[in-house]
Homo-oligomer: A and B are copies of this chain.
Amino acid sequence: MDHRPRERVPVLADVARVAGVSVPTVSRVLTGATPVSDKTRKRVDDAILELGYRPNEAARALVRGRQSMVGIIAGNTTRFGYAATIQGIEEAARAAGLLVAITVVNSATEADVKAAVDLMLGQPLAGVIVLDFDLQGERALSALPETLPIAVVTSTNDGRAARRVLFDDHKGGYEATKYLLSLGHETVHYVAVPSSGRPSGRLVGWREALLEAGRKVPEVVLADWSAQSGFEAGLILAGLSDVTAVLSGNDEIAFGVMKALQLNGLSVPDDVSVVGFDDHPHAVLWSPSLTTMAQDFVQLGASALHLLVAEREGADGPADASSPSPHLIVRDSTAPPRAGGAGRTIH
């Protein structure tokens, strides 16, 4: 392999010298702003090729004062909702000629939040998109300077001024719970994903639907975003006697919950109905296939990017965008409770 030290990288002045023209002329053929004679252009192009010249983007950014990179700050990059949102941002950014930079906020500690924000602000940025899905995101948002264009993907209207893409988490939790009650379940247990400080919308919607129907509200079981944590939550639920319906904060948790229930000899959906959130690609393939509240994260991400571009261009358009409501996809993991509670005691 060839690892000899690279020679000094050629700069615009080198091109000018080789082409026998002035520096601004080279710049003109590069930017295409002002007309240049064909003969001159040709000589410059040849010199560029010969030297393998590439413009120094730091210098360009400095003089233009206009950046072409957008930052994403997120609690992680691999969980389905995060990854899909990032995908939406990246695709929309690429279409707009913008590059995407990403930094993860490891935890909500001041040190981790500051590290992520400083790393991000250490680059020439057109703006930043924050994924306000968790406490890390929330804190990072607060730590960002007022002087930067910011867009946030969130389910809450509180907090600092920034353009928002709102998704209706509350409605999702409410509708999913109503659906389970409509099947005849006495109550619905909830396994929670982490939230941004205050209770998440889906949790509030769940509780509201239960209270509205006059049902008791079971204690929330906590999980993180992982299937493994769902499995542990499922073990807890399997040990309770009155569980016939479980709403999970996301699909990966639901996968874990189902596995734990099944390992404990409980059938899904015959003994326990399970509903997830997000419509993960594996939801349709699981056994049983998973009933879930679908959310279009890719579009959420794209909307956030478009909001940021609008702000950057000083548009006076709507400050916020809202996404289509989540919608329930009914599959095989939900059913009415066993008649008379056969095999299971209902309370």
Contact = CB atoms under 8 A, between A and B. Distances in A.
B100 A101 contact: yes
A90 B103 CA distance: 7
A77 B68 contact: no
A321 to B, nearest CB: 13
Interface in A15-71: 52, 54, 56-59, 61-62, 67-69
A94 B104 contact: yes
A122 interface: yes
Contacts of A2: 161
16 contacts: A2-B161, A3-B311, A5-B314, A56-B124, A58-B62, A69-B101, A77-B86, A77-B87, A94-B104, A99-B101, A227-B285, A228-B281, A231-B285, A252-B281, A255-B285, A262-B287
A124 B57 contact: yes
A122 to B, nearest CB: 6
Nearest to A63: B58
Interface in A95-149: 97-104, 115-116, 119-124, 145-147
Counted per complex, copies of this chain come to 2
Contacts of A84: 78
Return the 7 tightest CB-CB contacts between A and B, nearest first.
Answer: A58-B61, A58-B124, A2-B161, A58-B62, A101-B101, A259-B285, A78-B83
A9 interface: yes
Interface of A: 1-3, 5-7, 9, 52, 54, 56-59, 61-62, 67-69, 76-78, 83-84, 86-87, 90-91, 94, 97-104, 115-116, 119-124, 145-147, 161-163, 226-228, 231, 252, 255-256, 259, 262, 281-282, 285, 287, 311, 314, 319-320
A99 B103 contact: yes
A241 to B, nearest CB: 25
A86 to B, nearest CB: 6
A34 to B, nearest CB: 21
Contacts of A123: 57, 68-69, 99
A120 B99 contact: yes
Contacts of A285: 227, 231, 255-256, 259
Given A58-B58, A78-B83, A285-B255, A319 B3 contact: yes
Nearest to A285: B259
Q: Which of A3, A104, A115, A311 has the most CB of B within 10 A?
A: A3
Contacts of A227: 281-282, 285
Given A6-B146, A161-B3, A227-B282, A122 B68 contact: yes
A1 B160 CA distance: 8
Contacts of A122: 57, 68, 99
